[in-house]
Structure 1
């Protein structure tokens, strides 16, 4: 007799764990330490709750207290970050592709993923030109109208928006979030055509003009295809219409 498959139980997060993670997520680039008042303002948690949760975070080495009574991130997070980098090793696949892009185009090349309402620069290789956009790995930028954000927005939306089928990849924008900057972006995919991230070329609008972008277009397509193969994926015949999963599904 064939039994009916039981539906997977609907699971919910643990409120106390979510509050702990909210405290860690409150730290931003450039923060050396945060006061109790700053943590409260950023998390929406009351100070007494933060103080209680901080005891657990301190006990496991995620944060520590300064002599002035402020909170700062501690070494356990660095240890986990190193484990993440060593286990994932995405850098070994992405950076050589970016280096080739810089060599062939003369402009800066980056690899972005989406994190909520931001685009996160994971890896970057700078242009040899002195005039260039200064972005560092780890920088979070808004999901604006730039080509990078458009690619991330499209391929992290499920189902894929119908207008994606009408777009010509890689996408090109000039002055979308900075009147002096132009950029091009192309999706790259992992196994089962899962979206991996956006491969991008950016430069001053005076160099990366619409005409110059036409010469970069096949180079960027080739780079995204190379990265996709390296990640164990397959570039769809039309990058606007991947048959498989999106990132995060």
Structure 2
């Protein structure tokens, strides 16, 4: 019904819809062309969306989606179910290896941390859900860590519709790659077996 419409909200949502594209970033001119809004109107809308991290502005003035849309998407029941199955596995990995365990996903040319378990170590890799970084190469979600290392293991496709990885990260002198790969492979096999018997 017309009286239920809030024009400012609908304009903000229209601006967000413009990011449903293969391009990772959009200029203000591209957003204006996609939405039909004046640039001055868009700047006000984007300013409000940026404050709530729905969009982010880079140093070159281009706009991209922020972390909030992905955070809310993870509240969807299938994502909650997946998180409920994976978080205990991450907790076990962090406890047994003493390193940071995480669930990573990729979108376009970026990797994103979806879930994390931090070890009980004073010196550790601090990682938090929602953090994003450029992919080093297609299918390689590792984060470059000065003085540290990150080892990744792809999860079976049965565990999600998108490409997902388990990772272990920590100081290079402490995190042994071979041991990390063994721990990750064991966790992946356990999760795959659980997925096969899940109702």
Same fold (TM over 0.5): yes
How far apart are the structure 2 equivalents of 1:118 and 1:83?
Answer: 17
Query: Which residue in 2 is equivalent to 1:95?
Result: 87
* Stretches of structure 2 lacking an aligned partner (at least 5 in a row): 1-12, 55-67
The structure with more radius of gyration? 1
How far apart are the structure 2 equivalents of 1:94 and 1:192?
Answer: 9
Q: Does 2:45 correspond to 1:45?
A: no
Q: Does 2:171 correspond to 1:215?
A: no
Instruction: Give the total of aligned pairs.
Output: 164
Against the structure 1 CA distance between its residues 197 and 204, is the aligned structure 2 distance closer, same or farther, given a 3 Å change threshold? Answer: same
Q: Does 2:104 correspond to 1:112?
A: yes
**What are the superposed Cα offsets for residues 196-234 of structure 1, whole Å, 9 maximum, x if unpaired?**
4111100011211xxx2222332211111122233449x
TM-score (norm 1): 0.52
1:189 is displaced (CA, Å) by 1.1
Task: Assess if the C-alpha contact under 8 Å between 2:104 and 2:166 holds in 1.
Answer: yes
Q: Please, what is the CA RMSD of the aligned residues? A: 4.2
TM-score (norm 2): 0.63
Task: Assess if the C-alpha contact under 8 Å between 1:186 and 1:200 holds in 2.
Answer: yes
Against the structure 1 CA distance between its residues 131 and 218, is the aligned structure 2 distance closer, same or farther, given a 3 Å change threshold? Answer: same
1:1-249 counterparts in 2 under 5 A?
20-22=16-18, 41=27, 44-46=30-32, 49-51=36-38, 70-72=47-49, 84-88=74-78, 89=80, 90-144=82-136, 150-151=139-140, 177-191=144-158, 196-208=163-175, 212-232=176-196
1:91 is displaced (CA, Å) by 0.8
How far apart are the structure 1 equivalents of 2:125 and 2:101?
Answer: 10
How far apart are the structure 2 equivalents of 1:79 and 1:193?
Answer: 18
Task: Assess if the C-alpha contact under 8 Å between 1:23 and 1:50 holds in 2.
Answer: no
Against the structure 1 CA distance between its residues 101 and 122, is the aligned structure 2 distance closer, same or farther, given a 3 Å change threshold? Answer: same
How far apart are the structure 2 equivalents of 1:71 and 1:193?
Answer: 33
How far apart are the structure 2 equivalents of 1:131 and 1:119?
Answer: 24
1:72 is displaced (CA, Å) by 2.4
How far apart are the structure 1 equivalents of 2:129 and 2:77?
Answer: 18
Query: Which residue in 1 is equivalent to 2:63?
Result: none
How far apart are the structure 2 equivalents of 1:83 and 1:179?
Answer: 31
**What are the superposed Cα offsets for residues 69-120 of structure 1, whole Å, 9 maximum, x if unpaired?**
9422699x87996575241122101111100101110000011111100001
Against the structure 1 CA distance between its residues 191 and 217, is the aligned structure 2 distance closer, same or farther, given a 3 Å change threshold? Answer: closer
